[in-house]
Each structure stands twice: as structure tokens, then as C-alpha cells.
Amino acid sequence: MKKKYFFFCLLLIGLLACQTETQTKQGNDLRAKVLAEKKSANLPAYKRVVVVGDELIEMICTLGDSLKIVAVGKVHYKLAHRNLPLVGYKSTLKADIVKEQKPDAVVGELDLIDDKTAEAIEDAGIPCYRFAKPEKLADFTAQFKELGRVLKQEKKTAKWQDSLEYHITRIEKICKNKRKDTLRVMYVQARNMGAVLTAGTGTLVDVMLRLAGVRNAMEQFDGLQPLKIDMMKAINPDYVLMTKRTFQALQGAPQDLPAFAVSQAYGMGRVWIMEDADIQGFNLRAGKTSYVLCKKIYQDNTYTALPTQNYILQEPAKNFPQEYQEQGTKESKVSTPTPVTPEKNNSDIDELKGGG
């Protein structure tokens, strides 16, 4: 009886070993096929893509392929309305979870998908394209071009490249005889008063600012960071940049935010409020946006004056007379910031000492 049991165990072990070897061989074969596909000059037309990384989502949306995204690493504001499945990132990302979404391809940031997980995904026959965070413009343009190849959007990325080169030439003319890379700009984005972030290195905003010939005030930090009053005091940027959406999210009065009010930029009125489409993501107008920023600071010396509390219609108290309550409508609560051009002064830029 013991001999039969012993031989049965040996047989079972042999069968399991053969099965594992077969699965490994199948995985290796599928991965070899995937690697050959990724190097091919003519990639398949991917229709279902899992994306892990906020910046890559921004770029894919820019290329007009957001509907191809079937799952993401974590919730992204541009896709929140679609309630897409979440596959996780870094240690929470598992190949099995990705495979459940039945994607044609996976696109992700290098530091969010480790080698082991990427191999497991490709063992299942799913190509996994990973991109390192760009540290300079050349890295970004190469990444954007490769993403265009993966999504078969080469014409759009080529058009973007032409526009970028054109505006770089214009930026270089402005900066030729001007100070550059000394003034520090902080980008601020917010959903509400309690959720205010700034952009450090490794973000598309960082590339855009440096392209404009200024320094990112958050260059010592990586990625998006919550804005705190101590941080603002220590960094004290020369300029603050925000979109109209952020301005409205802060109820038209970012000066009510202590971390904003302590800044030199606010005290001197050096705040830019730009259209969301020109800032959000490094879109096809990115070269033009960088040029506009460069022109504003080094040539025109223009800025946007924030409205004071007198310009903001407050919510009326409940016991106010009806005629007063009717004036405090939501439509009139936030005023539009008025562009202001200060008197020309040749020493205006040079006298701006900055924080520190």
C-alpha cells in the first residue's frame, strides 16, 4: 500500500512538473511573440488599453484616444465619470487583475509597473509598454513620439513636434538677451479649498515651465505635492500659475487660502490665470503655452490681478431681506479676473529678488 502511495506521489509530482514546464514554455512563447510585436514597424491597432500613470492618461487624452482606455491604475479626474476599473499600481498591481480587463496592451510609467509584473503580463500575450518619467524636453518628445507610434497617432505627434520647434525658436529669440532660468514659477491646482496641489519634477507642467525659460519653484520635489503654508513660506515663488478651473474651485478668492496669501507672488500681484485647455496636460498647444508664458514674463511683464473681497459677492445670510438674497446668485458669485499691464520698467524683472 505504501509503495502504491509512493508511486502515486511521484506520478503526481511528475505531472505537475510537466504542467508547469508546459505553462512556462507557453508563457515564454507568448512573451517572445509580444517582444517581437513591440519591435515591429507596424503595430496592431490596439482598441482596449490599460493605463497606469496620470501623465500618460493626460497624453492619451490629448491624442484623442481616451475611449480606448478600459482600466486605470487609480482614479483620474478626466475619466472619473466613466467609473473605470482600477488595477492598482506598484505593489498593488497584479498581472491577474490586468488580464481580467482583457486589454490589447498595457501602457504605464516605469516606476509604477515593476519588471516581474510586466513579465507576467507579457507571458499572457499582452504587450506592456513602460515609460520612464522624462527629466528633460528631449526625453519627453521621444516618449510622446513612441506613445504616438503605439496608438497609431504618428501624424498628431509629428504635428505637435513641428509646432513645438516653431515656438522654441520664438522663445529663444526672447531669451537671447534676457535673464532666464532665474525666476521661479509655482503651478497650483485645486478641486476645492481643502485639496490644493503643486507640481514638482517628473510632471508635464515641469517640462512646460522649463521650456518657457523659467524655473519650476517646486524643482526640489517630485510629482504632485500638497500645498502647505510652511512649504510656501520656504519656497516663496516669484510667480504663481493656475487655471480658471482652479480659480473657481477656490471660490474666486485664493487669497483666503493661508498657504497662498503668505506668498510674495500674491503680495506683488504676480499671479497668472490661464485657460484650462492651455495648461492641463502637455497638450498639442504646449509649445504655444510655453511661448505665451515666456513672452508674459520676459517681454510684456504682464500679470493677472486677483480680485479683492470687494469684487466677490458673498453668500447672503439667511435672515437677510429677499432683495439682498437675490443678488447673491451662483452665477455672479465669482468675478472674472481682470488682466493688468503694469507700467513698463526696464529694471522690473531684475529687481525681483525671489524667495529663499
Q: In angstroms, what is the C-alpha Rg of the chain?
A: 26
Question: If you ran DSSP here, which 8-state letter would residue 302 be given?
Answer: -
Highest averaged pLDDT of the listed ranges 84-93, 133-142, 241-250: 84-93
Three cell numbers, residue 110: 516605469
Give the distance, in angstroms, between the CA of residue 26 and the centroid of all CA atoms in the same chain: 38
Q: Is the pLDDT of residue 105 over 90?
A: yes
Would you state the pLDDT for residue 313? 30
Comparing CA positions, the residue from 311, 312, 321, 274 lying closest to residue 296 is 274
Where is average pLDDT lowest: 134-148, 164-178, 267-281?
267-281
pLDDT at residue 39, rounded to an integer: 77
Residue labelled with grid coordinates 517572445: 32
C-alpha cell at 318: 439667511
Position 185 confidence tier, pLDDT thresholds 50, 70, 90 = very high
The neighbour count for residue 90, using CB atoms within 10 Å, is 13
pLDDT in the model for residue 178: 62
Stretch among 95-99, 179-183, 330-334 having the lowest mean pLDDT? 330-334
d(CA 341, CA 344): 8
The pLDDT assigned to 207 comes to: 83
Highest mean pLDDT among 2-6, 9-13, 32-36, 122-126: 122-126
pLDDT at 264: 86
Q: How far apart are CA 57 and CA 89, in angstroms?
A: 14
Q: Give the 3-state secondary structure of residue 178.
A: coil
pTM (predicted TM-score):
0.64
Name the band, by pLDDT with cuts 50, 70 and 90, for residue 337.
Answer: very low
> In terms of residues, how long is the chain?
356
Sheet of strand 69-72, all strands in order from the earlier edge strand to the far edge:
69-72, 49-52, 105-109, 128-131
Q: What is the pLDDT of residue 320?
A: 30
Computed over every residue of the chain, the mean pLDDT equals 77
Average pLDDT (270-276) is 85
